[in-house]
């Protein structure tokens, strides 16, 4: 593929870059969490920024224009992610809505559901979470046990979800529950439901991570009534909701993460220079290896984009990107640990911490990279079976 922007792509990039320059605060250098007096200040800032972006159609650009998007091509989405990463914009807490729930509702929802939910997802008025994983059904969604019982005009939901990002902030949940306890097939008998997180019987318990943050949660549903107009797709058609959702999730991985990783690598090189480790042969070898891996990841992402443009949908090769990025990010942070030595243990808030404690936080957060959005083990199975044509793992049915 040609790595240069076409004239149309260059114009799109320039328009977005100009918008960001004009609408981000003066002197913007990115958002360090330690710069904000409280998480509520950070959330308010991001929601106000998203409302501005939505007004000018710079949120959900991959959505159909009829629903507030721009009908963006895969390459435009890649450029968009690159520019937001270069501007050091953090992830919005509305990301589940804009990248997962919203596109799935646009694809499978009724016209009434689209009119009700999509505008408020785009402008950040309502935050969404995704209720798939359970204590005994993480990567294997078909093993879920949460039940939804038909009571006439509604379903009554009982069960538990876990690792639910942003549930503590969310207004709505895209939930998968079992509506048929004996479907004959483990992938049948599930239904997608749009659940009001303020309903009686919904209990959210934040899970504190090793970083000290609580990005995800346990969610308990006790006799929660969900009106039947909140069924997404067909009753019993939940597996179709699952597949559609995961396709949207994987389609949006890649370019933004790639730029963030390359930014981090540049910061690491500068750190090595400041501390004198740039002259150390072992450190130089590690940095060179990271650079080679980062370039390989960049061109793998470009190849995946080309495949999407040709076929119209992401294939299983996209699993390579997530697998490679997650492991490279962990290796990069391990190098930072070696460069800083004992100083790496100084946490955010300690004035002695190098770079404000960035590397200590980043190293701890990176430990989750090989679990979230598909574990490395699951991704290797996908690649082995669907890309390399190897037989299925004998331990899986």
pLDDT digits (tens, 9 = 90+) for 110-144: 999 999 999 999 999 999 999 999 998 877 788 89
Query: Is the same domain home to 271 and 380?
Result: yes
Residue 394 lies in a domain: no
Residue 281 lies in a domain: yes
Return the percentage of the chain with pLDDT > 70, whole number: 91
Residue 141 lies in a domain: yes
Listed residues 236, 270, 299: the one ending a domain: 236
Return the percentage of the chain with pLDDT > 90, whole number: 57
Length of the chain: 397
Q: How confident is the model at residue 212 (pLDDT cuts 50, 70, 90)?
A: confident
Listed as own residue / partner, the contacts of 378-386 with beta carbons closer than 8 Å and 24 or more positions apart are 378/139, 379/319, 379/322, 379/323, 380/323, 382/316, 382/319, 383/316, 383/317, 383/319, 383/320, 383/323, 386/316
Listed residues 74, 92, 110: the one ending a domain: 92
What is the pLDDT at residue 57? 96
Reported as a single tens digit per residue, the pLDDT across 350-367 is 888 888 888 998 999 999
Angle at 317 between CA 316 and CA 319, to 5 degrees: 75
Query: Is the same domain home to 383 and 275?
Result: yes
CATH code for the domain in which residue 358 is found: 1.20.140.10
- Structural contact between residues 80 and 68, judged by C-beta atoms closer than 8 angstroms: no
Active site residues: 249
Q: Which domain holds residue 192?
A: 128-236
Residue 47 lies in a domain: yes
Domain count of the fold of the chain: 3
Residue 297 lies in a domain: yes
What is the pLDDT at residue 304? 77
Q: Extract the tokens encoding 194.
A: 């749009």
Most confident region among 6-10, 43-47, 139-143 by mean pLDDT: 6-10
Residue 110 lies in a domain: no
Whole-model pTM: value is 0.85
């Amino acid at each position: 593929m040609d790595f240069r922007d076409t004239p149309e792509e260059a114009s799109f990039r320039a328009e977005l870059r100009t918008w960001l320059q004009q609408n981000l605060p003066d002197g913007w250098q990115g958002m360090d969490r330690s710069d904000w007096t409280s998480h509520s200040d950070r959330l308010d800032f991001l929601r106000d920024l998203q409302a501005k972006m939505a007004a000018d159609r710079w949120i959900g650009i991959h959505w159909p224009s009829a629903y507030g998007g721009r009908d963006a091509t895969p390459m435009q989405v890649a450029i968009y992610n690159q520019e937001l990463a270069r501007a050091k914009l953090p992830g919005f807490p509305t990301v589940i809505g804009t990248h997962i729930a919203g596109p799935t509702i646009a694809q499978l929802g009724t016209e009434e559901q689209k009119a009700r939910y999509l505008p408020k997802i785009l402008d950040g008025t309502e935050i969404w979470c995704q209720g798939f994983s359970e204590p005994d059904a993480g990567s294997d969604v078909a093993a879920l046990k949460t039940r939804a019982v038909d009571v006439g005009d509604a379903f009554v939901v009982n069960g538990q979800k876990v690792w639910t990002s942003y549930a503590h902030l969310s207004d709505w949940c895209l939930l998968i529950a079992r509506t048929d306890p004996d479907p004959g097939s483990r992938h049948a008998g599930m239904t997608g439901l749009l659940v009001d997180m303020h309903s009686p019987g919904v209990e959210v318990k934040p899970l504190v991570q090793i970083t000290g943050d609580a990005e995800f949660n346990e969610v308990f549903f006790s006799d929660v009534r969900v009106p039947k107009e909140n069924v997404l797709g067909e009753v019993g058609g939940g597996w179709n909701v699952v597949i559609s959702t995961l396709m949207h999730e994987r389609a949006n991985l890649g370019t933004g993460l790639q730029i963030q990783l390359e930014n981090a690598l540049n910061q690491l090189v500068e750190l090595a220079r400041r501390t004198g480790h740039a002259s150390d042969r072992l450190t130089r070898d590690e940095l060179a290896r990271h650079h080679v891996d980062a370039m390989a990841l960049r061109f793998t992402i470009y190849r995946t984009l080309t495949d999407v443009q040709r076929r119209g949908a992401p294939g299983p090769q996209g699993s390579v990107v997530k697998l490679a990025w997650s492991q490279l990010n962990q290796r990069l942070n391990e190098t930072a640990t070696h460069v800083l030595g004992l100083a790496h243990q100084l946490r955010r808030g300690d004035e002695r911490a190098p770079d404000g404690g960035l590397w200590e936080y980043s190293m701890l957060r990176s430990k989750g990279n090989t679990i979230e959005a598909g574990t490395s083990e699951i991704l290797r199975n996908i690649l082995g079976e669907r890309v390399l044509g190897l037989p299925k793992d004998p331990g899986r049915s």
